[in-house]
Amino acid sequence: ELQRDESVRVVVFRGEGGRAFSAGADIGDFEKSRHDSASAIEYAKVFEGALDTIASLTVPTISMIEGVCVGGGLELATCTDIRIAAKGSRFGVPVARIGVVAGFKEMRRLAAIVGPANAAYVVLSGEILGHDAALAMGLLMRVVEKEELADDVYGLATRMASLSPVSHSAHKEILETLLANPSLTGVDVDAPNGPQFRSFDSEDFRIGTDAFVNKTKPEFMGR
């Protein structure tokens, strides 16, 4: 629904109440939802499908993190383009404490953001990390005071929303291609209809260049 709504230019994910962005799955529900491999596979189809949907959004996505961000909550945050947190927030994937394994897709996203060594530390230590450690390993773009978080995130979202959706979509496509295929094997980077060049045939390109020349504010159409 978000993807189909052309008026949506940026999506911000946040928790409610200030205590947690997301504390992950309800362990007490495992007996019903993930009591064996067969039920875990069905659960993963739904959960990973939701994460894939978030990761595939063509508009910029931001995680506004305050409080606990662990397990599935951290996995959700790694599906967004940018993560900004309030001081005092905590992070981790302590699934080894209960004999659960983080999946391939979730690990791929985490490793792409923080690097293989840091990803290994996160899952193998089972530790809950403070905001300083999360910032140092590259999980977070920045950390701000709790009372400044909303203004910081929504200020960034507003600035992003004023830019070209055509550019945003193409940049996200290029980044995802590089993540999946770093060597660009088999990718025709010079394709006229590829993300690098098709923007030159867009209305946004005309609007943006005209506004720059005439020193006016562009009103991008997203096409």
Q: Distance between CA 200 and CA 174 in Å, rounded?
A: 16
Residues 180-215 have pLDDT tens digits of 899 999 989 998 889 989 999 999 999 999 999 999
Question: Which structure tokens are listed for 138?
Answer: 């590259």
Written as six digits, the tokens of 204 are: 């946004």
All residues at 6 or more sequence positions from 182 whose CB lies less than 8 Å from its CB, including other chains: none
pLDDT tens-digit series, residues 124-146: 999 999 999 999 999 999 999 99
**Rg of the chain over all Cα atoms, to the nearest angstrom:** 19
Q: Please report how the helices 104-114 and 37-55 are oriented relative to each other, as an axis angle in degrees rounded to 10.
A: 40
pLDDT tens track, the chain, 223 positions: 777 778 899 999 998 767 788 876 666 666 667 678 888 888 888 888 999 999 999 999 999 999 999 998 999 999 999 999 999 999 999 999 989 888 898 899 999 999 999 999 999 999 999 999 999 999 999 999 999 999 999 999 999 999 999 999 999 999 999 988 999 999 899 988 899 899 999 999 999 999 999 999 999 988 9
Q: pTM score, two decimals?
A: 0.89
Tokens at residue 7, please?
């008026």
Amino acid at 86: A
